[in-house]
Structure 1
């Protein structure tokens, strides 16, 4: 019950928080440009929140740009803004800076980013991959048994809306030839619609196989479903998604590598995956 409540709170966090920060940023800038007496506190509020709003906006609305890696940028501007705000300590702008700026960034890094996933005995290294089914882009039902007889890298990703997923898939596409050279198939699985996955496949235009987990059924059978994982305001993706997961499975269906990240911003680098492949088969 508590975990469900926390997940719901997280779902309500991102977009409403961005809207509130936008309003506060506009108010701070208008004060500074409105001919009022100069104020360190209002300047601190603007310095803390304007870059933060721009950063979050780019992260969520232009996720393929990969700016999510540069979380240090808003951290630095928020710290600078907080320093300016407390010089003068005007109540309203200082509250804006410390609550929405410093507090919001700390909440994002140390609370919102964590997935609260428990131990998953189904996907432990050495275990046989549980059976599940997904659909190909052309609507064909694909059972997990179809992956037997070949080495497979499976990446379960949340969808086109997820900035960390976009960076992860872009890195995989860039190194796809290196992975393919090792005789490994790459299968990308998401609960998003076939149209959105087809858009993704067309964007990268390499031989990675995109599959659709309708109704998140495969994720549930594997214990990696993320209920209420889609932020409020992200339209067209439903409310449930999958916990980001990367698996390497051998020809016999045995899991030889598993990354079940606890932090949605942290994904295994493609170089790390290639090293894992080499450690198993070379």
Structure 2
């Protein structure tokens, strides 16, 4: 019950927080442009919150799989900006810097990004991949056993709404020939609709199998459902999604590699997956 409640808090947090940060950044810029006097506190607001807004913009509008490596930039900026705001101690900008700037960055890094993922005994390396059922974008049912007899990379992604997932999949498409050259099939699975999955297939334009997990049936079977994982305000995806998961399975259906990330910003780069393929075969 407590875990579900915190999951709902996370769902309600993301978009309202980003909108508040954008509003405060614009308010700070307006002060600098309209005031004839210099304010250390309002400068602190710009430094504490501005880099975080840029970081979020890069994630959502220019999906880049390496962005997680630069989370220290908005953190350091938030700390420096808060110190500047506290020196002058004007109430409103100091509040913004402390709670939206430094506090917001800490919440994003240490609470919001954490998927609260427990150890999954179903997806241990060396164990057989549990049977599950998905659908093709043509609405045909596919049993996981249909992928037996070939090395397979399964990517469970949250949906087209998730920029971090989209960055990973775009990189995967760009290096698909390298994976195919190793004799490995790629299967992408998401609980999003067939129409959105078909849109993704057109955008990636490679011969990867893209599947729909209706109602998270396969995710439930594998123990990788993310309850309340879709941020409030993202329409058409429901509230539940899948925990980002990458599995490499051999011809007999045994798991030889598993990435069960506990942080949605940190999912395996394609080069990591290729190295994993080379390491097991």
The ranges of structure 1 where at least 4 consecutive aligned residues each deviate by more than 6 angstroms after the TM superposition are: none
Residue 155 of structure 2: aligned partner: 155
Residue 14 of structure 1: aligned partner: 14
> Which stretch of the first structure deviates more once superposed, 78-87 or 266-275?
78-87
Over aligned residue pairs, what C-alpha RMSD do you find? 1.6
Mapping of residues 223-242 of structure 1, within 5 Å = 223-242=223-242
Residue 200 of structure 1 pairs with residue 200 of structure 2: yes
Residue 128 of structure 2: aligned partner: 128
Q: Distance in 1 between matches of 2:50 and 2:274?
A: 39
The answer on whether the counterparts of 2:65 and 2:168 sit within 8 Å (CA) in structure 1 is no
Residue 56 of structure 2: aligned partner: 56
Residue 101 of structure 2: aligned partner: 101
Q: CA deviation at 1:36?
A: 4.9
Residue 179 of structure 1: aligned partner: 179
> Which stretch of the first structure deviates more once superposed, 226-235 or 167-176?
167-176
Aligned CA distance change for structure 1 residues 54 and 280 (closer, same or farther; 3 Å): closer
SS at match of 1:185: strand
Count of residues in correspondence between the two structures: 280
Mapping of residues 1-282 of structure 1, within 5 Å = 1-60=1-60, 62=61, 64-66=63-65, 68-69=67-68, 70-281=70-281
Q: Deviations over 1:66-108 (max 9, x none)?
A: 5743434423432332232122121210110111011101111
Q: CA deviation at 1:31?
A: 2.1
The answer on whether the counterparts of 2:64 and 2:164 sit within 8 Å (CA) in structure 1 is no
Q: Distance in 2 between matches of 1:270 and 1:57?
A: 23
Q: Deviations over 1:108-134 (max 9, x none)?
A: 111110100111111111111111111
SS at match of 2:37: coil
Unpaired segments of 5 or more residues in structure 2? none
SS at match of 1:117: coil
> Which stretch of the first structure deviates more once superposed, 62-71 or 17-26?
62-71
Q: Distance in 2 between matches of 1:47 and 1:86?
A: 13
Scaled by the length of structure 1, what TM-score is found? Answer: 0.94
Unpaired segments of 5 or more residues in structure 1? none
